Structure 1
Amino acid sequence: MIESLISIAFCLSSLLTLIILLLPSQCEPSKKAKGGNGTPRPNVQILVLGDIGRSPRMQYHALSVARKGGKVDIIGYQESDPHPEILSDPNITIVPLRPHPPFLQTSNKILFILYGPLKVLFQVAYLWKCLAYTTAPAQWMIVQNPPSIPTLVVASVSCFLRHTRLIIDWHNFGYSILALKLGPNHPLVKVSTWYERTFAQSASVHLCVTDAMGSVLKDKFNLRAPILTLHDRPANHFHPILDPGERKKFLVTLPEAEPLRQLLESGGAEVLVSSTSWTPDEDFSVLIEALQQYSEQAENEPCLPHILAVITGKGPQKEMYMRRIAALEAEGKLKKVTIRTAWLTVQDYAQLLASASLGVSLHTSSSGVDLPMKVVDMFGAGLPVVGWNRFKAWPELVTEGVNGMGFGSAAELTDQLVTLFKYPQQLDRLRTGAQRESGRRWEDEWDPIAGTLLGLT
C-alpha cells in the first residue's frame, strides 16, 4: 500500500513539475552593469534553497561580487538575519522564497517519503516564480548544492531558457545526506544519486570546497565542465583578539555566562564553543558524553577548570538533545560543566569565537569529502579546534597538533579536553597555530578563482 502511494505521489509530482517548468518565462538577457571605469560588470544570481542567514559561503559570494561592482540577486529563505553588509549593500537584492507549509516538515521516515513529493512541488513552484518572473535574467547563476532536489533541475531549465551560465557550488552531495535518513541502499537514495549526477552535467563550471570533493566529481560524476576548488576561508569580521583581558571582558558580559562570572573572572572556568545545525550528520551525543566524563574526572582533580560550553545554532534535533542535557543536570552528572545554547548576532558570534578557549566541531561528513565551515570561522578568530576527524578531507583543513586536534570517539574527546585544560601551554600552542591560520582570508581565495571566472579581477 505504502509503495503504491509513493509511486502515485512521485508520478503526480513529476507531471506537475514538468508543467510548471514548461510555463513561459521572462527570457530576454539582461544588460551588464558597468563599473566606474566603464568595464562591464556581470549580473549574478545566487540561489540557496535554505536560510540565507545560515548560508555564510553564499553570502560571501554575494559580497565579493558586489564589492567588485557586480549586481547580485540572492535568492533563498529569510529565517534569520543575514550578514549586515548584505542588507546595506546597494548592489545586492534579497529575493525571498516563500516557505513550504509547516505540516510538510517531519522526522517520521514514512511521512517523509509521502510528504517529500508535495514539498518538492511547492519548492518547484516558488523557485520557478523567482527565477523565471521575479528576477531579471543574469549572466551567471551560482547554485548551492545540496539541496539538489529540486534546485538543480529548476536552475538548469531556467539557465537554458535565459542563456545564463550555471555554476554549481558543491558543499556536499545531496544523496549522501539523504542516505543518513533513509539508508544508503534505499531506492530514493539511488534515484537521488542518478538525479544529482545527471543534472550536474548542465553546469558550465563547478566549484567545490575540497580537493577530495573535486576528485569525486571528476572520477565518479564524469563531469565535462571545469572543476575548481574554492576552499572556505573566514570573512573579515572574524579576527583574533590577542589581549586575554579583552577576551575575558567580553565573556563575562554574555547572558549565558551569568552563573559562572566569578569563576571566569578568577580563571576557574574555561569557555568551550561549538556551532551546530542540530542535524543527523553531527552526533551531538559525542560532546555530551565527553563533557559528562570530563565532569566526573574534574571532581577528583581540582586543577581542572569548570567548563562553560556555549552551543550556537538552530536545527531539528535541538530539543531532543536539550532534554538529555537537562536530565543529566538533574542527576548531578554535570557538576563541573555548564551547557548553554545561544543564538547570536554576526558580530557577537565572531567575538565569542575570538574570546573562547577552545572550539569543538562534531561534523562527521556524510560524504567524507566536505568540511565544516564552523572550523574555518574558528580559525579566522584565532580559536584552536578539536573535531571529529574520521573522514578523508579533514587534513585539508586542520594540521594535527599545530592548530587543532582530531578525535573519533567521546573517550578521545574527553582525553583531549583534560589534557588541554590541565596543561594550558599545550592549548596556547594550538592557539598560536590557529592565529597564524587566521591570516588566510576569503577574498584571497575568491579573487583568483571565482573573481577571475566571473570577469571581476
Structure 2
Amino acid sequence: MIETLISIVFCLSSALTVLILLLPSQYQPAQAGSPSRPHAAKRHKTCVQILVLGDIGRSPRMQYHALSIAKHGGEVVIIGYNESDPHPDIISHPSISIVPLRSHPALLQTSNKLLFTIYGPLKVLFQIVCLWKCLAYTTKPSRWLLVQNPPSIPTLAIASLVCFLRQTRLIIDWHNFGYSILALKLGQTHPLVKMSMWYEKVFCKSASAHFCVTNAMASVLKKDFNLPVPVLPLHDRPASHFNPILDPNARTDFLTTLPETKEFHSALKAGSLRVLVSSTSWTADEDFSVLIDALLRYSELATTVQPHLPEVLAIITGKGPQKEMYLGQIAALEKASKLQKVTIRTAWLSVPEYARLLASASLGVSLHTSSSGVDLPMKVVDMFGAGLPVVGWDRFEAWPELVTEGVNGLGFGSSKELAGHLVELFGKSDKLESLRLGAQKESSRRWDDEWNPIAGSLIGLT
C-alpha cells in the first residue's frame, strides 16, 4: 500500500514537473559580456546570479563569491532564502541585490523516514514552482549562474534548463554531494539515494565549469562523474572580517561584553576559565553528543583526578533541527550536577560578533564528520582566519587538506580522544599557545588570494 502511494506521488510529481517546465518564459537571452556581442560587454557590467537553495545568511562561501564579484566590477543577484541576516557588506553593496525565495510550508518538514518519502516529493514540487518562477520570470537574464550544490534536487535540473534557454553559462560550486547527505537520513542502499546519485551525475554535465572545496573532491568529480569541463578546486579561505586578536587582554575584554559570559567575568579576568567555541548545524552529520560526552569526561576528571584543570565555558552557535533535543539533554545533565566544571551556553551572534568571539576564545571544536569524506567544514576556515586553534573530527580523507596535525590543530575520532585533547591543551597552556601561533600563521591565507586566479579568471573579472 505504501509503495503504491509513493508511486502515485512520484507520477503526479513528474507530470506536474513536465507541465511547469513547458511553460513559456518571458525574457531575451543574456547578452551582457557575450563573446558574440563585444559592444554589449562594454555597455553592461558582467552579471552573475548566485543560487542558494538555503539560507543566504548561513551560506558564507556564496556570500564571499558575491562580494568578490562585486569588488571586481560585476553585478550580483543572490537568490535564496532570506531567513537570517547576510553579511553587512552584502546588504549595503550597490552592485548586490537579493531575490528571496518563498520558504516551503512547515508541514512538509519531517525527520520521520517514512513520512520523508512522501513529503519529500511534495517539497520538491513546491521548490520547482518557486525556482522556475524566480529564474524564468522574476529575474533578468545573466551571463553566469553560479549554483551551490547541495542541495541538488531540484536545483540542478531547473538551473540546467534555464541556462540552456537563456544562453547563460552554468557553474556548479560543489560543497559536498547531495546523495551522500541524503544517505545519512535514508541509508546508502535506499532507492531515493541511488536515484539522487544518478540525478546529480546526469544534470551536473550541463555546467560550463565546476568549483569544489577540496582536491579530493575534484578527483572524485573527474573520475566518478566523468566531467568533460574544467573542475577547479577552490579552497575555502576566511573573509576579511575574521582576524586574530593578538593581545590576550583585548580577548578577555571582549568576552566580558557577551551576555553568555556575564556570570564568569571574575573567572575570565583571573584567567581561570577556558572558552571553547563550536559552531554546529545541529544535524546528523555533526554528532553533538560527541562533544557532550567529552565535556562530561573532562568535568569528571577535573573534579576528581585532576582538580588543577580550569573551568570550561562552551559557547555553541548555530541553528538546526536537533538543537532542542540536545538542549534537553544538557539541561538534564546540569540538573544532575554532572557538569560541575563545565558550562554549556548557546548563542546566535551577528557576523562581527561571531568573528570576534572566535578571535577571543581559547579553542575551537569542529564536529563535522563529512558524509562524502571529501568536503571540509567552513567553520574551521573561519576559526583559522581568527587565529583560533582547532580540534576536529578527522576520520575522513580531506581533513589533512585543512589542518596540519600538531601545528594548528588536532584531530579526534571519538569523545574519549576529544576529552584527552581538552585535558592536554587546557592543562598545558604552552601546548595550546603553540597551536594558536600555528593558527595565526594560517590566518594569512585569504579568500581573495584563492578566488582571484581561479573564479575571477574564469568569469573574466581578473
Range of TM-score over shorter length:
over 0.9
| Counterpart residue number, 1:17 | 17
Q: Are positions 1:402 and 2:382 aligned together?
A: no
**1:259 Cα offset (Å):** 2.0
TM-score under structure 2 length normalisation: 0.97
1:58-80 per-position Cα deviation (integer Å, ceiling 9, x unaligned): 00001100111111110000110
**Does residue 29 of structure 1 match 2:33?**
no
1:441 to 2:449 alignment: no
The SS at the match of 1:193 is: helix
Is the contact made by 1:41 and 1:456 (CA closer than 8 Å) also made in structure 2?
A: no
CA distance in 2 between counterparts of 1:259 and 1:331 reads 20
Q: Does 1:76 align with 2:80?
A: yes
Picking from 21, 37, 49, the partner of 2:53 is 49
Residues in 2 aligned to 1:288 and 1:26: alpha-carbon distance in whole angstroms = 54
Aligned to 2:236: 232
Quick one: distance in 2 between partners of 1:455 and 1:431?
Answer: 38
8 Å Cα contact 1:210-1:230 kept in structure 2: yes
Q: Please, which moves more after superposition, 258-267 or 164-173?
A: 258-267
Distance apart, 1:29 and its partner CA: 2.6
**Structure 1: tracts of 5 or more residues without a match:** none
| Paired residues of 2:146 and 2:170 also in contact (CA < 8 A) | yes
Task: Give the corresponding residue for 1:183.
Answer: 187
CA-to-aligned-CA distance 1:109-145 (integer Å, 9 cap, x gap): 1111100111001100000011001100011000000
Counterpart in the other structure of 1:413: 418
Corresponding residue for 2:64?
A: 60
2:360 to 355, 361, 365: 355
One of 110, 113, 120 as aligned partner of 1:109:
113
Equivalents in 2 of 1:293, 1:187: separation in Å?
Answer: 40
- Offset of residue 302 of structure 1: 2.5
Query: Between the two proteins, what is the percent identity of the paired residues?
Result: 71
Alignment partner, residue 127 of structure 2: 123
1:203-214 equivalences in 2 (<5 Å): 203-214=207-218
Task: Return the letter of the residue paired with 2:158.
Answer: V
Report the counterpart of residue 391 of structure 1 in structure 2: 396
Conserved? CA contact 2:29–2:165, under 8 Å: no
User: Residue 22 of structure 1: CA displacement?
Assistant: 1.3
- Structure-1 separation of matches of 2:148 and 2:180: 15
Whether 2:349 is the aligned partner of 1:344: answer: yes
Counterpart of 1:249 in structure 2 is 253
Deviation at 1:38, TM superposition (A): 5.1
Shift of 1:24: 1.1
Choose 294-303 or 382-391, whichever is displaced more: 294-303
* 1:283-318 CA-partner distances (Å, limit 9, x unpaired): 000000000000000112232110000000000000
Structure 2: give runs of 5+ residues left out of the alignment: none
Indicate conservation of the 8 Å contact 2:216/2:374, yes or no: yes
Q: Which amino acid aligns with 1:3?
A: E
* Structure 1 residue matching 2:343: 3-state secondary structure: strand
Tell me, in whole angstroms, the C-alpha distance in 1 between the residues paired with 2:277 and 2:227: 39
How many residue pairs get aligned? The number is 455
Deviation at 1:32, TM superposition (A): 2.6
Tell me the distance in 2 between the aligned counterparts of 1:416 and 1:82. Answer: 34
* In structure 1, C-alpha distance between the alignment counterparts of 2:251 and 2:15, rounded to whole Å: 58
Tell whether the 8 Å contact from 2:48 to 2:76 is kept in structure 1 after alignment. Answer: yes
Q: Which residue of 2 aligns with 1:8?
A: 8
In structure 1, what is the Cα distance between the partners aligned to 2:199 and 2:21? 16
Instruction: Answer with 241-250 or 17-26: which moved more.
Output: 17-26
**Which amino acid in the other structure matches residue 12 of structure 2?**
L
**Partner SS state of residue 76, structure 2:** strand
- C-alpha distance in 1 between matches for 2:376 and 2:345: 25
Q: Does 1:100 find its partner at 2:104?
A: yes
Q: 1:171 aligns with which of 165, 168, 175?
A: 175
- Quote the Cα distance in structure 2 between the aligned partners of 1:96 and 1:38: 30
CA RMSD, aligned part only?
A: 1.2
Q: Distance in 2 between matches of 1:444 and 1:456?
A: 14
